[in-house]
Amino acid sequence: MAQTRTSPEGITQQLAKAFAHPLRVRILSSLHKGISSPNQLAQELGEPLGNVSYHVKTLLEYDCVELVKTEPRRGAVEHFYRATERAFFSDADWAKIPASARKGINGVVLESIGQDATAAMVAGTIDARTDSHVSHTPLLIDDKGWTEITALLTETLNRAIEIQQESATRLAEEKADSIPTSLSILHFETPAAK
């Protein structure tokens, strides 16, 4: 992870800015799956190369992505990036972000989740595997329950990231087919019933 001279509060604000554009969220989502170049990202996301390159550079400035390799391509050099751990907010970071910025970031993330789910529905991949999981479970809990569920979801996300890293190693060694997936974990307070 790149070192920065920015204060922790400044880092939090930088992350908020990094997530403030929907295309940057989509780029980060793709780069969490593996290494890619702006050219490959542009093709995958159906966006102009210039736009993707601009937003990758912005993410690089905010230390959310890192350059991992370069390769010569037809008289030019193609740059390949991956997402860094900085691309996530800790609970402490999230608490420091103004409510208006949190709302915008949540909107961008939910839009990305909706796009992934819609694409999976249209392609028929959302139910192609019998062991996929889609659920909606309303709960009524107290403050302690809220804290316990939040901790559980953080552990789950951390373990999912470890599993992805382990899978990347196996995929590189075995040259096996990869399975593109989307993991969305939501837990939020709902308005009180009337």
Per-residue confidence (pLDDT) for residue 116, from 0 to 100: 85
E strands, the chain, in order: 65-73, 76-83
Chain segment 96-131, per-residue pLDDT in tens? 877 877 887 788 778 878 888 998 999 999 999 999
Q: Of 153, 150, 138, whose CA–CA distance to 191 is shortest?
A: 138
Q: What is the DSSP letter of 142?
A: -
Q: What is the DSSP letter of 127?
A: T
pLDDT in tens, the chain (194 residues): 333 334 445 556 677 777 778 888 889 888 877 899 999 999 999 999 999 999 999 999 888 899 999 999 888 899 999 988 656 677 787 888 778 778 877 887 788 788 889 989 999 999 999 999 999 999 999 999 999 999 999 899 889 988 988 888 888 888 778 888 888 888 888 887 76
Report how far residue 56's alpha carbon sits from residue 83's, in angstroms, rounded to the nearest whole number. 10
The token duo for 113 is 């989740």
The token duo for 6 is 């920015």
What region, left, alpha or beta, does residue 135 occupy, with left being phi > 0 and alpha being psi -120 to 50 degrees?
A: beta
